[in-house]
Amino acid sequence: MTATATPPKKQPPIFNLPNQLTAARLGLGIILFILIEYDQWLWCVGVFALAAFSDWLDGYIARKQGLTSTLGRNLDPLVDKVVICGAYIYLMNKNSGLAPWMIVVVVARELIITGLRSFLENEGANFGAEWLGKIKMGLQCAALFAIFLALREVESPLLPVDWPIFRWTRDILVWAMLISTALSGLQYLWKAFALLRKNEAEPKA
């Protein structure tokens, strides 16, 4: 009896709903950059919250409806990095509590790990998200929210007394974000090193 070849798994359409949400998040990122430039801090909070919600929603829909695709797996984290890194870069010249070296740490980590992920996955290795990377992403978002609120408090106080709770929260979250960014970068570098050593040790066909 002749074995029947298994048909290749059908890919979902490119312009499915999760990918549309990802593209919309890029548009929200551009709006966010404009709002930062013009010091519209409460609007920044709202737009960034909408972008963060769309990030959760597109992943949820993709998993629920089986719409995961190669394009989505690559485009979604790339757009996240554009929005996050772009926001930090735009905030550098504001009274945000961010030093240039802090932004270099964030951007350099994202560029290096994205490059490594692309290379290793092209080699067939599994280089998916790690738990520390997810914590890093959460703290990067939380730090941005805290920075927006602290800048709003400086320009027009939200509290009836001069109590720098927003600035304290901002500083704590910024340092927590930096530590998690550096540690997650080291975690991915160690994983990449282990995968490369494993590939070298395996006999070539």
pLDDT band at 1 (very low <50, low <70, confident <90, very high): very low
Report which of residues 6 and 43 the model is more confident about. 43
Report which of residues 103 and 70 the model is more confident about. 103
Assess whether pLDDT exceeds 50 at residue 3.
Answer: no
Report which of residues 198 and 54 the model is more confident about. 54
Q: Which residues contact 97 (CB under 8 A, 6 or more apart)?
A: 147, 150, 167, 170, 171, 174
Of 69-73, 112-116, 141-145, where does the model show the most confidence?
141-145
**DSSP string of 67-126, one letter each residue:** ---HHHHHHHHHHHHHHHHHHHHHTTTSSSS--HHHHHHHHHHHHHHHHHHHHHHHTT--
- For residues 119 and 107, give the distance between their C-alpha atoms in angstroms, rounded to a whole number: 18
- What average pLDDT does range 56-71 have in this prediction? 76
Q: Among 105, 104, 87, which Cα is nearest to 37's?
A: 87
Assess whether pLDDT exceeds 90 at residue 170.
Answer: yes
Average pLDDT, the chain: 83
pLDDT of 161: 55
Residue 183 CA neighbour count, 13 Å, CB half? 15
- The helix, strand and coil proportions of the chain, stated in percent and rounded to the nearest 5, come to 75, 0, 25
pLDDT of 30: 96
- For residues 61 and 68, give the distance between their C-alpha atoms in angstroms, rounded to a whole number: 9
Assess whether pLDDT exceeds 90 at residue 2.
Answer: no
